[in-house]
Amino acid sequence: MDERTHDNLKAQSTNPDLAAVLSGELLCWSCKYDLTGLSVTSQCPECGTPVRATLLAIVDPEATSFKPLRSPVYSAIGLVTWSGAALIAIFCVLLLRVSDLSFELFSMSESMRHFGVLVPVLTGLSGLGALAFIRPHNAVRAWVSIRSIAAVLLYAPLVWLLWNLHVRFDVIYGAPYFGDPINVRERVVRRIGIGLLVLVIALLLRPGVREFAKRSVLLRTGQLSRQTVLALASAVLITLVGDLVHFSSLRWPVMQSVIVDTIWMAFVVIGSAMILIGFIGMFIDSLRLFPVLIKGPKSLRDVIRKEALDGPE
């Protein structure tokens, strides 16, 4: 039976009695209309997008080469938690700085600063999500698992440092970017520690992230541009350089000048903006991967069947 199906597939263009139609649930790539039962050579009745365009976007020619995930739901939820919690943590830091600004400009309440507790809590949640990278399927190479385990362990000192900075230091000393707290050397040292840990964690998790990303034919083939971990790591590196210049100017006062202050501030601001953009991209990629991980990549055979032209077999 399977051989006959295969022959039929091969004879698709030559046998006039059979037509390839869509089986199972296949939604139009453009408007999500259910295309079940339509011929592969037709168009979406709702929006006119050729069915072939949907097939190209959804069918993965390498679908059968991927090892099945041990737990598709756990992997998908882990990935979205990892990137989503990290993104919200970064938004919290951004909100804290905006609230500092409104406090300075409009004498608004300082109570916002207590929301700083969300930063380490959400980072810890992101670390729990990262557990999904350790062993998504049984054929994961050992060094990918080991790197992921090391990354998850490094979340512990990262959460501790973030707690120290956002829950204790900034609450005791006040708004860092207005006045002296920014120039307290201990604060810069904490920032450098946080930057280094984020950088190392990102590089350690890189192969684990790719393990998931390659399962989407659109991300793998570049039909959708993908946020790379390496780009994110270089953004972290830029803020680190800024913090190191800042630290040096505090350590050796001879370096202190408006020019040096401008340089480190520029590195920190540009790097932070790039980190924010990077995490937004990472979160969007996770959402795109979510259905691919849960349902598994689709092969051509999963979505089409052969039918006699005068009706179902």
Instruction: Give contact residues for Zn ion (rule: CB under 5 A).
Output: 28, 30-31, 33, 44, 46-47, 49
Question: Is the four-CA dihedral 292, 154, 275, 103 of positive or negative sign?
Answer: positive
The least CB distance from residue 35 to Zn ion, in Å, is 8
The least CB distance from residue 304 to Zn ion, in Å, is 17
CB nearer to Zn ion: give 53 or 203.
53
Q: Which H or E run includes 1? A: none
The least CB distance from residue 235 to Zn ion, in Å, is 37
Tokens in use for 242? 């800024």
Q: Which H or E run includes 21? A: strand 18-22
CB nearer to Zn ion: give 33 or 91.
33
> CA-to-CA distance for 286 and 175, rounded, in angstroms?
34
The least CB distance from residue 218 to Zn ion, in Å, is 17
Nearest-5° Cα angle at 150, 146 to 151: 115
* Contact residues for 142 (Cβ-Cβ < 8 A; gap 6+): none
CB nearer to Zn ion: give 31 or 98.
31
CB nearer to Zn ion: give 46 or 62.
46
Nearest to 215 by CA among 302, 286, 296, 139: 296
Tokens in use for 186? 């201990």
Contact 140, 165 (CB under 8 A): no
The least CB distance from residue 288 to Zn ion, in Å, is 19
Question: Is the four-CA dihedral 194, 195, 198, 203 of positive or negative sign?
Answer: negative
CB nearer to Zn ion: give 30 or 228.
30
CB nearer to Zn ion: give 54 or 227.
54
The least CB distance from residue 50 to Zn ion, in Å, is 10
